[in-house]
């Protein structure tokens, strides 16, 4: 991780296919494109890989989340349960739908917990968005069971976890819809891109239309297409999709390398007293993009990150102090600072987002560190990293 580490001739060929036709738009121009349909090819291969009936490519993972919200009917006034540990795009997609994000605690999986979910339920709850963070899974079977019992829409944010599975079933395929991101630092990349996947034909048709101004995409005459619904422009280009086609075909190799590198580092860290590891409901399904571990307390975690950086062990994130992925430092969210009034701000029941309390999550995130696992490391570099890491951590543990 990430995919940009492995650009090669395969990506160049796919992109050149598009450039040689001059057709960068994903729809129409049938004769000029000489049989090259990169977005359609990516969608077909992704659906097959994830084990679902339908996939729709979008311009980003954020666009995929917004498309999934719309396609599943989540909208104004609906409460959507989300975890406080995620990239802010998860929350933005809820807000842009006019829905209300309701934060529920995580557990040591670093994902939304079933217990946190149940504690956050209200009569207004419409959907649940578990986020499979840092390459591995939430307790998705338990979460799905609660959603099924309560009649709630389950939308999986698997943007960080392409290739991960739970008991052999792909993350993103448990809910009514699932979303992936292919931005520059994901497991595979399109440069920018995302996808929504589903087994529900109605959800797919709505998503396919919503992401392209409501077009139904029937026939090959763009001007004659009907508009099913009001939509937006979340289209991916053929150039971005072309990169993704090549990258997706490398996914098995990517996973093998990540898992091998992670296993070596984790084995060495396991011998250091005071370190505990993230809980994995299914270790065999981990995509291994990160090695996440816990220090004894907040101050030790902060000390560890500084010591690792000083030792040249890069790519280690203490999420509690991170402004991107944990709610604690989302000042713009706490104050609802926006370019213009958001739909949710017009709702009388809108909560005070400056007063969100997630005590169990705070206790977990204070101690959590995630180490990025890279594809480009040689065996010698992995060994050097292990030696530096063990030496740095043993100085104070």
Rounded Cα–Cα distance for residues 13 and 213 (Å): 31
Which runs of consecutive H residues, i.e. helices, occur in 89-138? Answer: 89-96, 114-120
Could you read off the pLDDT of 129-149 as tens digits, one per residue?
999 999 999 999 999 999 999
Secondary structure of residue 216 in the 3-state scheme: coil
pLDDT attached to residue 391: 95
DSSP 128-188: E--B-GGGS---HHHHHHHHHHHT-EEEEE-TT-TT-EETTEETTSSSSEEEEE-STTSSS
CA 54 to chain centroid, in Å, comes to 18
pLDDT band with cut points at 50, 70 and 90 for residue 126: very high
pLDDT band, residue 4 (cuts 50/70/90): confident
pLDDT digits (tens, 9 = 90+) for 363-375: 999 999 999 999 9
- Rounded-to-integer distance, Cα 230 and Cα 349, Å: 26
Q: Is the pTM of this model over 0.95?
A: yes
Asked if residue 178 lies in contact with residue 158, where contact means CB atoms within 8 angstroms, the answer is yes
- The distance from CA 38 to its chain's CA centroid, rounded to whole angstroms, is 22
Taking 80 as the threshold, does the pLDDT of residue 394 lie above it? yes
- Note the pLDDT of residue 177: 98
| Whole-angstrom distance, CA of residue 205 vs CA of residue 193 | 19
Q: In the chain, what are the domains?
A: 3-250 (3.40.640.10), 252-394 (3.90.1150.10)
Task: Report how far residue 126's alpha carbon sits from residue 247's, in angstroms, rounded to the nearest whole number.
Answer: 35
Q: What is the pLDDT of residue 67?
A: 98
Q: How confident is the model at residue 2 (pLDDT cuts 50, 70, 90)?
A: confident
CA–CA gap between residue 321 and residue 122 (Å, rounded): 31
Closest CA to 133 of 102, 155, 168, 106: 106
Task: Give the whole-angstrom CA distance, residue 36 versus residue 47.
Answer: 19
Task: Name the band, by pLDDT with cuts 50, 70 and 90, for residue 342.
Answer: confident
Q: How far apart are CA 21 and CA 16, in angstroms?
A: 9
Cis amide bond preceding 2, omega within 30: yes
- With b for 16 or more beta-carbon neighbours within 10 A and e for fewer, the 272-290 pattern comes to eeebeebebbbeebbbbbb
Per-residue pLDDT of 213-222, as tens digits, reads: 999 999 888 8
Burial of 264 (0-12, 13-18, 19+ CB in 10 A): middle
Q: Give me the chain's average pLDDT, please.
A: 96
Rounded distance between C-alpha atoms, residue 301 and residue 5, angstroms: 29
The residue-averaged pLDDT of 338-361 equals 87
Mean pLDDT across the stretch 66-70?
98
Task: Provide the pLDDT for residue 89.
Answer: 97
Query: Cβ(152)–Cβ(128) under 8 Å?
Result: yes
Residue 105, class by beta-carbon neighbours within 10 Å (0-12 exposed, 13-18 middle, 19+ buried)? buried
Percent of the chain's residues with pLDDT above 70: 100
């Amino acid at each position: 991780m990430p995919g940009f580490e492995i650009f090669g001739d395969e990506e160049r060929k796919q992109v050149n296919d598009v450039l040689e036709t001059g057709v960068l738009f994903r729809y129409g121009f049938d004769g000029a494109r000489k049989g090259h349909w990169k977005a359609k090819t990516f969608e077909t291969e992704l659906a097959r890989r994830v084990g679902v009936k339908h996939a729709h490519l979008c311009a980003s993972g954020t666009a995929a989340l917004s498309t999934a919200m719309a396609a599943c009917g989540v909208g104004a006034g609906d409460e959507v349960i989300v975890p406080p540990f995620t990239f802010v795009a998860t929350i933005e997609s809820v807000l842009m739908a006019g829905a209300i994000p309701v934060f529920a605690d995580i557990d040591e999986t670093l994902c939304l917990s079933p217990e946190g979910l149940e504690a956050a339920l209200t009569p207004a709850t419409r959907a649940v968005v578990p986020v499979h963070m840092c390459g591995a899974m939430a307790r998705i079977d338990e979460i799905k069971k609660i959603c099924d019992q309560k009649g709630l829409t389950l939308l999986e944010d698997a943007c960080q976890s392409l290739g991960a599975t739970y008991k052999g079933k792909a993350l993103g395929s448990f809910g009514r819809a699932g979303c992936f991101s292919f931005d520059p630092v994901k497991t595979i990349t399109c440069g920018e891109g995302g996808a929504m996947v589903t087994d529900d034909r109605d959800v797919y048709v709505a998503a396919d239309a919503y992401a392209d101004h409501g077009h139904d995409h029937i026939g090959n005459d763009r001007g004659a297409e009907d508009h099913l619904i009001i939509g937006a422009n979340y289209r991916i280009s053929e150039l971005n999709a072309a990169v993704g086609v090549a990258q997706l075909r490398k996914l098995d190799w990517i996973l093998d390398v990540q898992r091998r590198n992670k296993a070596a580092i984790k084995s060495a860290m396991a011998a250091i007293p005071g370190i505990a590891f993230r809980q994995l409901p299914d270790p065999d399904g981990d995509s291994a993009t990160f090695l996440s571990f816990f220090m004894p307390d907040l101050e030790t975690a902060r000390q560890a990150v500084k010591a690792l950086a000083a030792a040249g062990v890069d790519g280690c994130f203490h999420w509690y102090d991170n402004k991107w992925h944990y709610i604690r430092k989302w000042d713009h969210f706490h104050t609802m600072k926006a370019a213009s009034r958001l739909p949710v701000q017009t709702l009388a029941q809108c909560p005070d987002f400056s007063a969100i309390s997630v005590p169990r999550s705070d206790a977990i995130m204070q101690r959590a560190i995630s180490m990025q696992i890279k594809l480009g490391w040689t065996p010698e570099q992995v060994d050097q990293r292990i030696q530096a890491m063990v030496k740095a951590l043993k100085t104070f543990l």
